[in-house]
Amino acid sequence: MKIKILSVFVAAFFVGCASNVQNIDASKQRISLLELNIKQDASSLPSNAMNANFSEEEILKKRFGVFELKGKRLEPNEVFWAFRTYWPNEKKTYYSSNFRPIPQSWFDAQKDNANFAALGGISMFALTAANTALRNFPTDEPIFLNPQTPGEGYPFDYLQESTLSIAHPLFVSHFSKDRAWAFVSDDAVWGWVKVEDIKFINDETAKSYAKQKFISVKVDKTPVYDKYGGFLFYARVGGILPFLSEDNENFYGQVFTRAGLRDYKISKQAASNFPLKFNDGNVKTLINSLLNQPYGWGGVDKLRDCSLFTKDMLASFGVWLPRNSRAQASVGKKIELKGLSDEIKAQIIKEQGVPYLTLIHLPGHIMLYAGFKDADIFVVHDAWGLKTASNGRALIGQTAITTLEIGKDRGDIERSNLLIAKIDSMNIIKPSSDADQSAKISALKRAYGVDIRENLVIFKDGSTIVFDDFKQKDDECTQGADVQDMNALDYAAFAPLGTTLSDAGRCRNYELLGKIYGSSENEVRANLVDIVWLKDSLNLKLKFNSKNGAAQALQAVSNELDELAKSDPALLEYLKNPGGTFKWRIIAGTNRLSAHSYGIAIDINVAKSHYWQWSSGYQNLIPEKIVRVFEKPKFIWGGRWRHFDTMHFEYRPEMFE
């Protein structure tokens, strides 16, 4: 199934989840505490009117997807990304906890101990046997950028990737050379855990474990005891524990600990059947449990950063999120806010935000929207602080309730450094229902004449490819798309041209396209036929793929546009001198094939178009009439993309349901 990769995002440091990698002049250092004017209790928050049950299927599918990794090819450049990212160079020096620079020899030793050559050598399943750190290198030793600058030093240990709760499923690739560390994948990322903190399980145990009943932890750091009253572990919010039975007061189950399989019990005041019912009481119980905890970059010291807070918080309700803030900001319905005034941002958030199911993103940081009271928009977030004059920091340093204008009354914080000013998007999370997923699968089956069963796409010749590889993706699928990803984002077909932009349709699975349209340049060429582009107006011959109804669809577009142009000749300015159809090439700046390589895309007049890499901000000249004609036979338009390409139309029948 899926190889999960943590997308690395380093941005200018404003709030918590990102830290400026450039050293700041120590003479300009200034750190202060930011006053929290709101009572830090969930009773301060607006009420949550929603009362809903979310399906456990999606998140359990993600968590136990690691049990499908055995036998899958692992890409070293992907899984060992940290050794490229956190590596010293002429511009970047790392420091130890003693404030001294770390020598290159230390990094070389870590890389050697990581045992790259053994990747995939063990290929076994495991469960965490303790709450444990997931590290970027096989070591407990931290690395910091200049600890004497604001936004660096503790807690910003760049080797701390995450914290995993006990009983978390893992795929184990191999051991470090000293055999003290295991290189593992959880549901979101790859990293190193201590061998003493995991319990290996066989295939049969893994299969049965995934079918157990589970509970959600409602109260963070709940001590859990065995049947004799002996302490076993602290239960964490976001943890999902298997259980065997229950009575009026407790849940009872078994978990692997460092000491082996142990019976446990946990009070029903601290846990509930998984997933939790999404209602005001449960939401605020979890928030109160997490408020005031110190900020912990990467989950250092078993704490949380901004994205681990949101991931753990929503996991309790059955909502799966990626590990880092940028990836989380692409889940669900995304609404772009970049470039808008603070007033317009606030208006959109109030009008469209769903309390406790909406994430608000700014570079390097993610927040949980909690509703509004009068003019104040409330968020809950695990944050470090705001930038002040002379590159100082006004610290929050904890999980806190704030408004989006916290710090506005301080003279040393510019308006441009407030949360509201830095926000660039919001996304509303509506976990996929069984019906939604079924509809998307049906759309793929109809679009490409395939069958989809048991996580396989089955072609008419009997060959198969994986449907869902469970890798974490951004909305462009820069790490490669599986078949499920192709229509995971909803395309705004026939919507007004001012509709919020998304990258729906930019994810393409090349195995599927190759099977349908040709897997090489020569195979595609053999499937090309001529279509006549605007016969009466322009009479141009264009090459397009004859398979799967693509050429037929483009000819239908051409015929309708030809008739429209007779009554509205101005349309020809956008349709003449088309930029082309078939051309076997990669997308500029990537290693991914263009849709043009398969003969299923057309670029209309380049001179009347705008492209995100050429244009400053979104622009469009293409008339709505033209877009609607293309969309009728199931062409998507690049002008609806966040990474816009207004000349581009692409035959993607699976996007129209």
pLDDT, tens digit, 9 for 90 and up, residues 503-523: 999 999 999 999 999 999 999
Residues 91-134: pLDDT tens digits?
A: 999 999 999 999 999 999 999 999 999 999 999 999 999 999 99
- Checking if the pLDDT of 71 tops 70, the result is yes
At 563-589, the pLDDT tens digits run 999 999 999 999 999 999 999 999 988
Give pLDDT, residue 433: 60
Proportion of the chain above pLDDT 70, given as a percent: 93
Instruction: Assign 264 to helix, strand or coil.
Output: strand
Model confidence at 49: pLDDT above 90: no
What does the pLDDT read at residue 567? 95
Taken in order 318, 323, 325, 327, the sign of the CA dihedral is negative
pTM over 0.85: no
pLDDT at 54: 83
Q: How far is CA 172 from the centre of its chain?
A: 22
Collapsing DSSP to helix, strand or coil, 135 comes out as strand
Query: Is residue 4's pLDDT more than 60?
Result: no
138-196 tens-digit pLDDT: 999 999 999 988 889 999 999 999 999 999 999 999 999 999 999 999 999 999 999 99
Average pLDDT, whole number, for the chain? 91
In the chain, the percentage of residues whose pLDDT exceeds 90 is 79
Which regions of 239-375 does DSSP assign to beta strands (E)? 240-243, 245-246, 250-257, 260-267, 271-273, 333-336, 358-362, 365-373
10 Å CB burial of residue 11 (0-12, 13-18, 19+) is middle
Give the pLDDT band (50/70/90) at residue 58: confident
Say yes or no to pLDDT of 526 above 50.
yes
Q: Does position 7 have pLDDT exceeding 60, yes or no?
A: no
CA dist., res. 366 & res. 324, Å (int): 9
Q: What is the pLDDT of residue 3?
A: 32
- SS3 (DSSP) at 595: helix
